[in-house]
Structures are given as C-alpha cells and as structure tokens.
Amino acid sequence: MAADPSSETPSGEKLYEGKAKIIYATDDPAVLLTYFKDDATAFNAQKRGQIVGKGQINCAISTHLFQRLGAAGVATHWLETTGDRTMLVKALQIIPLEVVVRNLTAGSLCKQTGLPLGQRLEPSLVEFYYKNDDLGDPLLTGDRIRAMGLASEEQIGTLRRLALNINQLLTDFFMDCGITLVDFKLEFGLDAQHQILLGDEISPDTCRLWDQSTDDEAQRVMDKDRFRQDLGQVEAAYQRVLERVLAQSPKN
C-alpha cells in the first residue's frame, strides 16, 4: 500500500459510481474498494451539491461504526480502511432494499402520515424501501417484497432482527456522544456463503442525528437535513459528529 493512499486515484477498474461513493475492483474478486466522494444529493437526486470534506468524514465515521458493530458481533462488509476516503469491503450481492429504522418521527414519515416532527416511536419502526431511483424508492410491504422476489419471509425476519439489534447498539453509542439517533438507513447483502452482512455506509448522510445540547430545531441537526433544508454549516456539523464519535472510541 502506498504511503498516502488518500492522494491517489484508486487503480482498479471502476465497477459502479453512485451518488456518494465509487466502487472499484481489486485483485481479489471477493474484495472491493469503496471511495467516498464529497458529492451530495437529496430528493431522489433532484437537488445536487458538494459538501467539502464529506468523503473523508463519512469514511472515518463509517469505519468507527463498522468496527464497533463488528466488535459487538454484527457481521459487516468492512475489512480495512486504507486511506482517508477509501475502505476495502467484502463483495456482496446487494439486496435491493433500503432498511430504515425510526426511533423518532421525521422526514418522509411525517410527510406521509401527518405525524408531528420528533415524536418518539415505541417500539421503533422498521421499514423497507425498494432501492430503485426510477421508481423513486417506494415504501414496500412484506407481501410486496415476497411478490417481487427480493427476499424470502425468513430473510425479511432476519433483516428486521439485524436492523433492530444495530439500532440498539447505535442508539446507545450515539447517546454516549450526546446525540439522539432519530432514524437511519441500512443496506444488506449476501456473501459467498449466503450469509446476510451489513453493507454500504453509516454516516450523517444516512442517519438523522440530533445534538442533545440544544432543543433548537435547526441548530440540533447534525446530518444531511442541513443540506436538504439549506440550514448551512453542513460540513461543520458532519465534523462535529466525527469529533464526538472519535472521542468515544477506544484509543489504540
């Protein structure tokens, strides 16, 4: 590995470029390299922009959260972080579902149900959305998931259990950081042994995170809602999340 991989463009074949990340092949077909970009999109890519430094911050936050979840027994795709925007991950057959866990009402839940913002949900909700930009990532039901052949009854149950376990671990961790985990999105995939692993990223792009030190509705937002809603100070908020995550992580 080069001394400063962050300054390099990954050398492997580009396999896929998404809104926030690029996936490259490596010499090992079972391993992929994920590159975190500064690009940001919202509202199904109708709003586009850049959050300077986001790639590094999300790579670092995801690294720490994957390591923590791994230490707690959650199987994830993370293998090694090789640069300040790059991590090696296990190649997975991605299940095209966005698994959203909600602890407090926000976002599309409020829009679609009329529930007020910030109401605690007991028990937490687990929702499945179809990962398909052309269709606008629609909300699915268990019956629809089975009818579409996206996952079996048993796999849906496993995804729910995994998502709720991860929610407990992340909620407790962010609580120690003085941050409320409002909701978040996970993606899962199957490895060569057909085991379900956590994939993608966990970052302020994919979580709603509220600073517990203020009740102010705009000030408390430490996640991509700052970009979605033009609240300003987006990078600074992401940086504050990283600092708090690092402060709670064991030094080595």
> Residue for token digits 């003085």?
178
Q: Interface mask (CB under 6 A) for ligand UDP, residues 58-87, using x and -?
A: ------------------------------
Q: Which of residues 85-114 bind ligand UDP (CB under 6 A)?
A: 98, 100, 106-109
Q: Which two tokens stand for residue 225?
A: 């809602």
Is 41 an interacting residue with respect to ligand UDP (CB under 6 A)? no
Decide: 211 and 179 in contact? Cβ < 8 Å.
yes
- Which of 49, 53, 52 lies closest to 61, judged by CA? 53
Q: Given the rule CB under 6 A, which of 89-97, 166-174, 202-210, 235-243 is the region that contacts ligand UDP?
A: 202-210
CA distances (Å), origin 166, targets 5, 47, 246: 30, 30, 19
With CB under 6 A as the contact rule, the residue among 76, 82, 183, 240 that binds ligand UDP is: 183
**What does the alpha-carbon distance between residue 244 and residue 115 come to, in Å, rounded to a whole number?**
30
Cα dist from 247 to 61, 64, 77, 165, 242, whole Å: 12, 11, 24, 23, 8
Using the minimum distance from each CB to ligand UDP, give the nearer residue, 10 or 210.
210
Q: Is 184 in the site for ligand UDP (CB under 6 A)?
A: yes
Q: Which of 21, 85, 220, 224 lies at the binding interface for ligand UDP (CB under 6 A)?
A: 224
Does position 187 interact with ligand UDP (CB under 6 A)? The reply is no
Told to check if 170 binds ligand UDP by CB under 6 A, we report no
Q: Where along the sequence are the contacts to ligand UDP (CB under 6 A)?
A: 98, 100, 106-109, 137, 183-185, 206-208, 224
